[in-house]
Structure 1
Amino acid sequence: MNVVMSFFTRMYGLPVYLDTVGTMFVSLIGGIFPGIVTAVLTNAASTIFNKEAIYFGFISALVAIYTAWFNREKKFDHIKKILIFVFVVGIGSGALGAVIQWGAMGRPQTQSIDALVEAFTIQFGVGDFWSYFIINLLLNILDKGVSIFAALLLVHFIPKRTCINIRNSGWKQKPLSINEVKRIGSLSLSSLNSLRIRITVMLLGCSFALTAIMGIVGITLYFKNAKVEKAEIALNAAKFASEVVDPNIIDECIAKGIYADAYGETESALRRIKEGITGVDRIYINQLSSDGWYIVFDIVPEGVKKHIPGEKEKFDENMQPYVGSLFKGEVVAPVEISSVSGWFIAAYYPIIDKNGICMGYAAAETSLAFVSDYMRDFMLRVLFIMTSFFILIIAFGLWSTGMGMVYPINSIEKSVENFIKAGDDQVELDEAVRQMRAIDIQTGDEIEKMYRIICDMALNQTEKIRSVRRFSEATLKMQDGLIITMADLVENRDSDTGAHVQKTSEYVKIIVEGLEKKGYYPEKISAKFKSDVVRSAPLHDVGKINISDKILNKPGKLTPEEFEIMKTHTTAGREIIEKAINTVKGEVYLKEARNMAAYHHERWDGKGYPEGLHGEVIPLSARIMAVADVFDALSSPRVYKEAFPLDEALAIISEGAGTQFDPKCVEVFMDALPEIKVILNKYNQKV
């Protein structure tokens, strides 16, 4: 599309080019890299009919970059945005194009623009350059406006799904979102040690070095050949000049100058030689003296001051090595001379009379100053050409390392990080593995191999954790079963505490969860604490194993002596569980069981037993159990009493807040009345 449009606009001499329609179209669908490739290669292809097209490739590449960026960031979804795009691209490409065409090439590309510049200059009285600059801006705004509307129209007729498939075709993994690409790109570009930056710089450095070497070699070879050619021209011109000068008139011309008889005719012949041999800047005839020579004839370009006949000129330092050869009448090989008068090659051919005597020398000079002009023009054109390829190389480096390395490695890194963060949460671990496998990296190299190994490792690790968890859960169930069995052994000795263990455990769970919901004791209540307290609750009366059946199942009120014995079940329970703790190393949840067994009869006001602890000095787990234990004792029948009605039992609990019980524990217990009723009904105590 770019090549065809450029061909027809050039063939018909139109002042616009329309050579970026295809570039914009590809950039809209494929993104930056495909757009740059299109821009550079189509400009290169256009050199078939327009040899100067290659110099504008970097402008087209910049248009591709801006089009893709604008489409991603701003969107072409409003006429105002489209007009902003047109003006920015038009002014930018117009300004760069004007500088290249006028500054480097010295003229516009088409005659139609020449005519517009001339008309504009005459009409507004401004200089040719500014006329061309303004016209080029306006034409580029028009050109880019037509191009973007044409490109958007073409995109409109392509199915959205096709556009998405084309844009995602370069991914070697699951395509990332724009935000993910930006995040990874910013991380890469923010570090000079980034793999992406290093590889791109390496490619660019190698390309630049290769270009520089090729340029230097090319200029060196050209300069060497040019010097050989110029030397040959100078020598031939000097030889021809020596043949048209009569040796016998040299003395007369020095003495009489332009008034010598043969001066005019000889000067005309010499001038014809200079004008007839391309590249000769000066021809002059001289006669040697002891420290220099006398000028006889001096043929120079028009406007350059020439020496008059008989004027003496000393030997230049560049000529000192050849003075001996001059006095011997030998042909002097072309000499490269650099002085204030210029940079040139000079050849000297002797003028020999019929007696074999050297009467003087014919000299011819060819300038080498053109080489510096050529080098400047050559390097400028190489710069324009290579800039587009440098942009292409940078884009290729960023694209290839991004798609093949940076994005896959970053995706692997992020998935591994999520896997690590999942810790031992099985659900999160499974999700992390699923997301890791969903990346689906297909680079076909070591990165893909590493990715597959990491996926397998993560999957195996997850399955091992699942197996360990199942084993741990089975172990915990076994431990909990042993605890319940131990508690039942104790409870079964008590004739009237039916389901006491189960009910108190459920009350404890209600209270601890209520404290957490209200934000009470946040420094203490954690998931582990809740689990430990609920699991330990059945052991709170384990110390009753040491109380005799006579006291434990006595139908009447205990005597003071018997009550003192009954109170020892708290210390006995503590000793039993401490022995278990010492036996089973690391079972921290038994520490809460010890606290509950030892202190569930302590009171908030310090009047409890066995140690008379008060307030928050009492372990929280024991304060929770105190409420649960007393409520169950009140609401359940005993051999020495009937069960209290629910309202009366709740009233007693409420009255004990701040004296017997922790007020916060009582508060959350009372707030959970519906759940309390469910538990009572569950254990056949209708309320």
Structure 2
Amino acid sequence: MKISISHKIDKNRILRDALVLSGIAANVLLGFIMSSLKLPLYLDTTGTIYVTLIAGPFFGILTAVVTNTVSMLFSPTNMYFSVINALIAIHTSVFSRKHSFRKVKDVFGYILMLAMISGILSVIIRRFIGVDTQDSVVDNAAIEFAAATGFPYLPAAMMLDVLVNVFDKGISLGLAVLVIRILPDDISTRIANSIVKQRVMTEEEENRIYRWKADSKGSVRWRESSKLLLTSFVLVIAMAWIGLTLYFNSAKNDRIEAASDACRFAAEIVDPDMIDTYMMEGENAPGYLETKEMLYKIRNNSLGVDYLYLIKVEEDGCYVIFDLDTETEYGYDIGTKLPFKDEFLPYKDAILAGEEIAPIESKSDEGWLLTIGYPLKNSAGKLVCYIICDVSLEYMADYMIDFIMKILLIMAGLFILIVAFELWTTSIYTTYPLSAMTSCVEEFAEAGDDQVSLDNNVRRIRSLNIHTGDEIEKLYKTICDLTLNQAEQMRSIRHLSESTMQMQDGLIITMADMVESRDSDTGAHVQKTAAYVKIIVEGLKRKGYYAEKITPKFISDVVRSAPLHDVGKINISDKILNKPGKLTEEEYEIMKTHTTAGKEIIEKAISTVKGGSYLKEARNMAAYHHERWDGNGYPEGLHGEVIPLSARIMAVADVFDALASPRVYKPAYPLDKAIEIIQEGAGTQFDAKCVEVFIESLSEVKVILKKYDRM
């Protein structure tokens, strides 16, 4: 049985890797050409710039560091400058997010900043680390300028280097932009798609996420990166300190051993029985000059030995016998008396006794020295002198500092690359998908019961296509299922709610019809008043009146429950309700009770029906639609805005319909007359704002009247 295994090839990733390789190749090739021609230009940031602009900061930094590493093949010092190339990638990334390369001012500012980064840092690296580079033309020009003007060399070198780098980075940017324009747009898009583990966010979505993140106190990305940065920094410092300490101690021990060997070699060539003769006759003593010549050879061939001399130790001090540095400022003539140094005083007795002493560190005008003393005894076993070898620890320290600086420069570029890699991986695997998911979920939550918004958010969440292959992807799939189920559940609830509302509306209409059917001449009163109420409440909202009160829910509650405003008439006898003439005072008082009766009926319904909050406005309209703005209405004599807004709206609608419709006791008023009466009641019987918006909507009112055949 043949089994075939197919591996899915990520073509977008191949394009991205090819882009990085092309950037490295462009940098190395251009740098090699400039180096071969001995020109004061580099052009080795061209690839860094276009890779950063297309693929992002991490791949730009990767291009920069690898470029300087490969360039060591033809310029061994290039690795020290990788930090400059990495900083150029960082600045390019930051600039591209905030500015455009279409504005001349922005482009010049970008080039100037790159020139300053390159020029100033390269001079510092060359001069303080002692690294020579190809741009001797710039260095020589700076030296000549400083000599001619008296201007300090270092600032002069920096200014000239910045000026040269303006041209260098300008040309590099031009070449980079040319590459970007030549590259097809779909290739750039595919490379961008390979960088993240999800759908690339649009600019609008990115801005939405940034606004959402602005309220956060911290960021997972920066918290994790800061931890890595701190940990890496502490680890590097600790390892560097341990390594340097071990190196210093090892080098120190090697020099101690070499100095000890030098002392023993010297002891073999110096005749101890001739020491007193050397002291008295000096260079005229037989064999003195030959011995001194041999001591020179021993010193010059001993690792790290800077000084070699012989001294005769007495109680009152030390007397010079041989000093190989007599011609220097630190040399002494034969017979010169030297006092014991403070560092040697604790060992004075041992020295006088001719004992071999441990190496002693001291600091003096000669520098930081490590002294090894070897006792030389004659044939009788008596101490005649000490052979002294001095090792310079200051030289070792300077060498170590120079070594540390070079290592730090090399590590700086790599360190930036490591941090950029951590930021990139944290972004694509954690913060970027988490931010996108959280932003979508937050909008999903804010959508509330808006089904259209819920469905749109579900589609947007599912379109993220997060495929990190870890717990984040599992979380994403769970959120997709959760939001989809929630949206479907909300759809089911909405259908149920709409069915319930339809049933409630049907009950309301039924109750209203039961009342209306007893009134022989109302003529679709409940339908028309409900329509007028809708016109008035929407007009108030349109003009901004009572904005804090008129919400979508208020409008819905008022319009839906308007048909119940006369439900209390069910308690009024047909004799009074359908009386063709004017009611007596007693009958009128009975008729007025339909308001309180309606209030009681609806309050009982509210207490019975859970969630029937919309009936609260029905109660207000039933109870108070006969109240007057001036307080002369019934049943409680409320006035002004003390009267519930829904009742004030219904008052206008109810009276207008009563005027414009025929009744058993009167014919219908003409429309103009009805409108005139309503206008006259503004501010006394009615809320003037309700009258205002009603009059302004006469075209809609006429449509309603025509619909019910009353025009």
Measured against aligned partners, the alpha-carbon deviations of 1:605-664 in whole angstroms (never above 9, x if no partner) come to: 555444454544444333333333333333333344433333333334344444544443
Following superposition, the deviation at residue 56 of structure 1 comes to: 0.5
Alignment CA distance shift 1:476-1:301 (3 Å): farther
**Residues 266 and 192 of structure 1: is their aligned pair in 2 closer, same or farther, counting only changes over 3 Å?**
farther
Do the aligned partners of 1:603 and 1:659 also contact (CA within 8 Å) in 2? yes
Q: What is the Cα deviation at residue 188 of structure 1?
A: 7.3
- Tell me the residue number matched to 1:236: 261
How far apart are 1:20 and its partner, in Å?
1.2
Could you tell me which residue of structure 1 aligns to residue 430 of structure 2?
405
CA gap 1:46/1:358 in 2 versus in 1, 3 angstroms = same
What is aligned with 2:12? none
> SS in structure 1 opposite 2:391?
strand
Q: Judging changes above 3 Å, is the alpha-carbon distance between structure 1 residues 53 and 577 closer, same or farther for their aligned structure 2 residues?
A: same
Residue type of the alignment partner of 1:420: A
Deviates more, 1:552-561 or 1:489-498: 552-561
Of 340, 348, 362, which aligns to 1:338? 362
Are residue 637 (structure 1) and residue 637 (structure 2) matched? no
Separation in structure 1 between the aligned mates of residue 531 and residue 462 of structure 2, nearest angstrom = 43
> Aligned partners of 2:691 and 2:387: how far apart in 1?
127
Judge which range, 309-318 or 294-303, deviates more.
Answer: 309-318
Post-superposition offset of 1:301: 6.6
Match of 1:24 among 21, 27, 49: 49
2:368 partner letter: W
Matching of residue 85 in structure 1 with residue 110 in structure 2: yes
Letter in 1 for 2:259: A
Aligned to 2:514: 489
Residue in structure 1 matched with residue 277 of structure 2 by the alignment: 252
Question: Could you tell me which residue of structure 2 aligns to residue 303 of structure 1?
Answer: 328
Residues 415 and 358 (structure 1), Cα distance of their counterparts in 2 relative to 1, 3 Å cut = same
State the alpha-carbon separation in 2 of the partners of residues 568 and 359 from structure 1.
139
Name the CA shift for 1:428/1:277 in 2 (closer, same or farther; >3 Å). closer
Contact 2:45/2:85, CA 8 A, preserved across alignment: yes
Q: Give the alignment partner of residue 538 of structure 1, picking from 544, 549, 563.
A: 563
Give the counterpart letter for 1:468 in structure 2.
I
User: Which residue is equivalent to 1:553?
Assistant: 578
User: Any idea what SS the aligned residue of 2:195 has?
Assistant: coil
Q: Secondary structure at the match of 2:76?
A: coil
More displaced stretch, 457-466 vs 599-608: 599-608
Match for residue 94 of structure 1 among 106, 119, 122: 119
1:453 and 2:478 aligned: yes
RMSD over aligned Cα atoms? 3.4
Aligned equivalent of 1:73 = 98
Work out whether residues 568 and 596 of structure 2, in 8 Å CA contact, stay in contact via their aligned partners in 1.
Answer: yes
User: Letter of the aligned partner of 2:692 in structure 1?
Assistant: E
What's the counterpart of residue 573 of structure 1? 598
Q: Residues 632, 11 of structure 1: CA spacing in aligned structure 2 closer, same or farther, 3 A cutoff?
A: closer
Q: Which amino acid aligns with 1:224?
A: N
User: Pick from 469, 477, 491: which aligns with 2:502?
Assistant: 477
Q: Is the 8 A contact 2:324 2:331 kept in 1?
A: yes
Identical pairs, percent:
52
Partner of 1:391: 416
- Looking at structure 1, the residues matched to 522 and 612 of structure 2 have their Cα atoms a distance apart, in angstroms, of 28
Counting only pairs closer than 5 Å after superposition, residues 104-253 of structure 1 correspond to structure 2 as: 104-105=129-130, 107-109=132-134, 116=141, 129=154, 132-177=157-202, 194-253=219-278
Q: How does 1:652-663 map to 2 (within 5 A)?
A: 652-663=677-688
CA gap of 1:133–1:547, structure 2 versus 1, over 3 A, is closer
For 1:232, the aligned partner's letter is: E
- Per-residue CA deviation, residues 163-192 of structure 1 (Å, 9 max, x unaligned), is 233234322333345676578679979988
Separation (CA, whole Å) in 1 of partners of 2:144 and 2:500: 97
- Residue 194 to residue 561, structure 1, CA distance change in 2 (3 Å): closer
The aligned counterpart of 1:43 is: 68
Cα 1:85/1:578, change in 2 over 3 Å: closer
Aligned to 1:198, what secondary structure does the other structure show?
helix
Q: What is the distance in 2 between the residues matched to 1:645 and 1:50?
A: 103
Following TM superposition, by how much is the alpha carbon of 1:476 offset from its aligned partner in structure 2, in angstroms? 1.8
8 A Cα contact 1:189 1:197, kept in partner: no
Q: Which amino acid aligns with 2:359?
A: V
Distance 1:142 1:620, change over 3 A: closer
The count of residues paired between Structure 1 and Structure 2 equals 685
| Secondary structure of 1:540's aligned partner | helix
Q: Report deviation, 1:59.
A: 0.7
Deviations 1:548-597 (A, max 9, x none): 33343344444454444444433333333333233335523333333333
Change (3 A) 1:153 1:242: same
Q: Report the Cα distance in structure 1 between the residues aligned to 2:339 and 2:257, rounded to whole angstroms.
A: 25
Asked whether the 8 Å contact 1:192–1:198 carries over to 2, the reply is no
Q: Deviations over 1:65-84 (max 9, x none)?
A: 22233333232224554343
Could you tell me whether the CA contact under 8 Å between 2:54 and 2:188 is conserved in 1? Answer: yes
Task: Flag structure 2 segments of 5+ consecutive residues without an equivalent.
Answer: 1-25
Letter in 1 for 2:187: T
Q: TM-score, normalised by structure 2?
A: 0.86
Q: Is the 8 A contact 1:57 1:385 kept in 2?
A: yes
Structure 2 CA distance for aligned equivalents of residues 381 and 444 of structure 1: 41
SS where residue 92 of structure 1 aligns?
helix
Q: Could you tell me which amino acid in structure 2 is paired with residue 86 of structure 1? A: I
Q: Distance in 2 between matches of 1:187 and 1:526?
A: 27
Cα 1:217–1:8 change in 2 (3 A) is: farther
Task: Answer with 454-463 or 648-657: which moved more.
Answer: 648-657
CA contact (8 A) 1:287 1:294 kept: yes
